Amino acid sequence: MEVCDRNPLAIRLVLDSYTAGSELSRALDQTRERIIDFSYTSLVDHLPPDASKVLECLFGCGDPLSRGQIGHLLELSPDEVAEAVNSLLKTSLVTREVASTSERYALSSSVRDLLVRTPRDRHVREQVYARLRDQQRIIAELDQRGTRDPLNESFVPSTSANHIRALVVRLRASVVGRTSRADQLPGSRGRSSGKRL
């Protein structure tokens, strides 16, 4: 039943193939491929661009993601993520997992199989993989060398979500980098020393 995603047509096709003499495992595989090709390919082809990106993001990550994580990985605004996710929730392409105050989204197993065989957007998939690798690198460095002192200005709580921790580290590096570059501009020391006089 789970292999057919509780699809009555798929169950019927499996039973027909099995009664006609096919092995059950072969009947399941063939039916699953036919249902995916027929049902999901047409549906996925008509999705808005951001919804297709969200599918690739969910595929690339593998784990259920929150809207914040999706927006971070795809560099989409909260409104763009909400619109894309809402359009996907009207279909059977994604599932929603609700836990207390948070929602996470995952691909249905059939769509995952389709995306294995025919990626929708290889560029988006590579972008997601690259951002995940970068995030893992930042978190590993933070866990290894980050301060545990909550009063230190570079402290990032380990209880925060990984994408938030990585974002804070990136933002801090960007702000510190800008400040140090400004101090290195020609004449900046002269102006600051002039002010002291």
pLDDT, tens only, 126-166:
988 998 888 888 888 888 887 787 777 778 888 787 778 88
Q: State the residue for tokens 């096919």.
A: 22
In-domain check, residue 176? yes
In-domain check, residue 147? yes
In-domain check, residue 67? no
Of residues 30, 196, 53, the one with CA closest to residue 128: 53
In-domain check, residue 110? no
In-domain check, residue 194? no
In-domain check, residue 155? yes
Q: What is the mean pLDDT of residues 168-188?
A: 62
Domain end marker among 46, 62, 80: 46
Burial of 46: CB neighbours in 10 Å, binned 0-12, 13-18, 19+? exposed
Q: How many domains does the chain have?
A: 2
pLDDT at 194: 47
Give pTM, 2 decimals: 0.64
Task: Output the six-digit token pair for 26.
Answer: 């072969």
| Share of residues in the chain with pLDDT > 70 (%) | 84
Quick one: residue 42, left, alpha or beta (phi over 0 = left, psi -120 to 50 = alpha)? alpha
Q: What is the mean pLDDT of residues 108-134?
A: 85
What is the C-alpha to C-alpha distance for residues 47 and 40, in angstroms, rounded to an integer?
A: 11
Range of the domain at 32: 1-46
Residue 15: how many other CB atoms lie within 10 Å: 13
In-domain check, residue 191? no
In tens, the pLDDT along 18-44 reads 788 778 788 777 777 777 677 777 788
In-domain check, residue 12? yes
